[in-house]
Amino acid sequence: MIGKPEWFTYRIFGWGLRPRTWQGWVYVVVFVALFMGTASMPIPETTKMSIMWVLMGILIIDAVHIMTSLHKFHDERQNLHHLIIERNVSLAAVLALVGVALLQTYQNRGITVSGLPFDWSIAVILGVMVLTKGISTFYVNKKM
């Protein structure tokens, strides 16, 4: 779309992208300027919000496009390191959610609760993670 994957690289901390060339920095500065310019325009708030939503939509779609193409512009070593990091983060997230569910179950042991003995949102998140893992595994195995 607008940005090119070769302008960006994986973030060191957190998720997403960070610029690695001057073009990437210009891309970021232009989007920040567009958001700030829109916020300071003397127009009705509803119009400002509409413009902001359109800009945010363009930015999100472009960022997803860049992120899905990023692996083509990194060597195998960088891609492998990124995959190991993502795997470790996913494992930590699952263990943290299971730990919280166990803690809440322990805390609610004397309370008669219909349904789950822990917050249902934890079960939903774990379910979505399992579903995503299953679909991803099926897709990768089918593609190979």
Taking only the tens place, the pLDDT of each residue in 3-20 is 888 898 877 776 778 898
Residues 48 and 88 in one domain: no
What is this structure's pTM? Answer: 0.58
Domains of the chain: total: 2
What residues contact residue 92 under an 8 Å CB cut-off, 6+ apart? none
Residues 116 and 63 in one domain: no
pLDDT at 112: 64
**Treating both helix axes as pointing N-terminal to C-terminal, what angle do 45-69 and 22-39 enclose, rounded to 10 degrees?**
160
Taking only the tens place, the pLDDT of each residue in 67-79 is 888 878 777 777 7
As to burial, measured by CB atoms within 10 angstroms (0-12 exposed, 13-18 middle, 19+ buried), residue 52 is middle
8 Å CB contact between 73 and 10 = no
Residues 66 and 95 in one domain: no
For the residues 104-111, what does the mean pLDDT come to?
A: 80
Domain that residue 61 falls in: 5-73
Residues 105 and 62 in one domain: no
Q: Which of 73, 103, 119 is the last residue of a domain?
A: 73
Residues 13 and 46 in one domain: yes
8 Å CB contact between 78 and 5 = no
pLDDT at 3: 85
Residues 64 and 80 in one domain: no
